[in-house]
Amino acid sequence: MFVKRFLLALLLPLILGASAPYQVAHVIQQDDFAICLKLNNLNQVVGVSEEGNFFWSQGTGFVYFEDVDDLPHLNNSGKVLIRKVGRTDELSFWDPQSGYEKIELPSGQRTAFSLALNDSGCFSTVDAESWLDVKNQYVYQSGQWLKLPNICYITKKMNSEGKLLFTRLDLEACAPALFDPLTNNVNWWELPDSCIALDCSDDQVIIGNTEDRKKGWVLDLNEEQYRSYTNFLPRVINNHQETLGVHPDEEDSHSLFHTFLCNIKTGKMTYVASLIEDKSIRLLRVTDINDKGWICGFGLQGEDIVGVILKPKAPKLP
């Protein structure tokens, strides 16, 4: 059944005579390989290559970050949040114009797994030797550190208002929640399934997967509507309710690698191989989508693994 779905998604545009909705804007190539993982609204990316984690933009080219184990975070203002691992971790902001800006950790904190970064430069971290040994979680806002209550375990997203998206694990069934660190107010939603929250848009749409990964779901807080999907697991969403994700049968899929684009307003799904018509590149996976509808990912060009940035043929409205 899964193979049939893939073949149908691949062949349907050819059968109907429809053209691919995207075209290749940039091919990002290094000697060994380059994989684009995160894309902002300036069409800048962060990714990984044989030489390590990198930042790339059309004007700047490649910038590599030394001694950085985690994938850097990238926001829509062009700031990159970097964690350098050592006896005591170091956190820094970096951007092409200003370079590095070191961030002092809270007193007594030695580790700083960075979790979420918003466009204002606010972010969350956890003090933990490992994900099984989380001591404290903090939010950094306007040069100040705020310690979060223990309920806020492993935040997934910080929206433009500074609210943190996370999953409540202390209930009978897992539930998505939003926490406002300025007011200490927590809102959560008990849904028909045990749900893990993965991403949210600035217009109050939350997406995720059920705990057993058999269904995807969308929670629209504006319309107070919950929808579930048995054929799609959404993982990333932009502010036009376009999502990237996988089919539930892809059990071994890496959490950053996606095979489908889905518009949750229309329900239209497009398999990754049908996004472009460029025969010189075999698109393998997509990884992120920005608010202009541009998508980053990676594919094969000949025998080389290259990063790609795709742009829609029909530009998105603001």
Whether 270 maps to a domain, the answer reads: yes
Provide the pLDDT for residue 165.
93
Q: What is the pLDDT of residue 126?
A: 83
Is 109 inside a domain boundary?
no
Rg (CA), the chain: 20
How far is residue 148's CA from residue 237's CA, in Å, rounded to a whole number? Answer: 25
On whether residue 19 sits in a domain, the answer given is yes
- The verdict on residue 303 lying in a domain is yes
Distances (CA, A) of 234 to 4, 48, 134, 311: 20, 23, 27, 20
**Angstrom distance (rounded) from CA 285 to CA 39:** 14
Does the pLDDT at position 316 exceed 80?
no
How many other β-carbons are positioned within 10 Å of the β-carbon of residue 277? 12
Instruction: Look at residue 36 and tell me if it is in a domain.
Output: yes
Q: Look at residue 251 in the predicted model and tell me its pLDDT.
A: 61
Give percent of the chain with pLDDT exceeding 70.
Answer: 89
Average pLDDT over residues 286-312: 96
* pLDDT (0 to 100) of residue 238: 95
The 10 Å CB-count burial string (b at 16+, else e) for 94-111 is bbeeeeeeebebeeebeb
Average pLDDT over residues 261-287: 92
Supply the mean pLDDT for the chain. 87
State which residues form the domain around 291: 2-65+150-312
Burial, 223: exposed, middle or buried (Cβ in 10 Å; 0-12, 13-18, 19+)?
Answer: exposed
Whether 317 maps to a domain, the answer reads: no
Q: Mean pLDDT across the stretch 302-316?
A: 91
Higher pLDDT, 103 or 182: 103
Least confident of 55-69, 113-127, 129-143, 180-194: 129-143
User: How sure is the predictor about 148, in pLDDT bands with cuts at 50, 70 and 90?
Assistant: confident
**Coil, strand or helix: which one is 181?**
coil
- Please report the pLDDT score of residue 252 as a whole number: 58
Q: How far apart are CA 90 and CA 237, in angstroms?
A: 30
CB 282 within 8 A of CB 235: no
Is residue 296, in this structure, part of any structural domain at all?
A: yes
Instruction: Write out pLDDT tens, residues 166-176.
Output: 998 888 889 99
Residue 197 maps to a domain: yes
Arithmetic mean of pLDDT, 204-216: 94
Q: How far lies 280's CA from each of 24, 206, 283, 295, 302, in Å?
A: 10, 36, 10, 18, 7
Are 84 and 92 in contact by the 8 Å Cβ rule? The answer is: yes
Q: Which residue has the higher pLDDT, 1 or 202?
A: 202
CATH value at residue 27: 2.120.10
Number of domains in the chain: 1
Statement: residue 286 has pLDDT above 90: yes
- pLDDT by residue (tens digit) across 40-97? 999 999 999 988 999 999 989 999 998 787 889 999 999 999 988 777 788 999 999 9
Question: Helical H runs in the chain?
Answer: 2-16
Buried b (16+ CB within 10 A) or exposed e, 55-72: bbbeeeeeeebeebebbb
pLDDT digits (tens, 9 = 90+) for 109-128: 777 787 899 999 999 888 87
The answer to whether 148 and 181 are in contact (CB under 8 A) is: yes
